[in-house]
Amino acid sequence: MSGCLYMVGTPIGNLGDMSPRVAEAFRAADAICCEDTRVTSKLLAHLGISKTLIRCDENVIVQRAPELVDRLLAGETLAFASDAGMPSVSDPGQVLVDAARDAGIEVQVIPGPSACVTALVASGISCEHFFFEGFLPRKHGERVRRLSELACVPGALLFYESPHRAAASLQAIAQVFPKRRVALCRELTKLHEEVLRDKAPALLETVLARGEMRGEMVIVVAPPDSDEMTGIAVQVDAPDQQELLAKDIACALEAEEPASAIAKRLSQKYSLRKREVYARVLVMQEERDAAAR
């Protein structure tokens, strides 16, 4: 008879959020898979539990999954814990769940805190509908492109971010969504928990003025209002217009026309929002520069 895989949700900061089932699952496991053995060993020490730890971060979990499935099929019980929060949400645990399910192995989820849901509630931004993106791309042009693709989502947008990239991501958000309210949530459930809220450009200024900030962060972007959704719908219904716009931008870039001038001219020509055309110009400019390298 095969064993069982426990997916264990752990605190995102405050150890008081840990349920009794977390300790039960860890004690029942023959071994514990985790992202970082140092982080999980501290959690186990707090619980007074000693177990074999198996490193299963994003760099090795694909290679280790078959071996772990074999152990489960042989009757062992394994637990998986991410560094914090619910495993499989923007972390490698989903690979193991998928492999276990395919092998017909029982999977039990031990619910726990989730940074994205906690931030959504703490932000005060409408959460009737929301879309969790995880981490945005590292390059500015790719960030802008992805945010532009998400503009039509009729709900709040949630992003994970690290302290040293928060300002860069907020810059892209302010560029694509200058009228939307944004919340930056950091150190959730911890002593220095903080939620900063404002329109995207104003929040960016606040963060830049603050300088270095610590702690893992979640950025929540408000849903589009009716006017923005109307503008998006017009663009979606006009693919020919988008193709013509792309050709005009390409010609303008070839003529070395400044990005701001291109955006102003073409937004008037196609009756589009200047910021949306500007975002498209920057993306195409970066692609053109990359191809020329």
Closest alpha carbon to 15 in 52, 56, 36, 45: 45
Looking at per-residue pLDDT, the higher value among 238 and 117 belongs to 117
Are the beta carbons of 291 and 260 closer than 8 angstroms? no
Is 0.85 topped by the overall pTM?
no
pLDDT digits 0-9 by tens, 15-33 = 999 999 999 999 999 999 9
Q: In degrees rounded to 5, what are phi and psi of residue 138?
A: -80, -35
Q: Is the pLDDT of residue 230 over 80?
A: no
Residue 250 buriedness (CB in 10 A; 0-12 / 13-18 / 19+):
middle
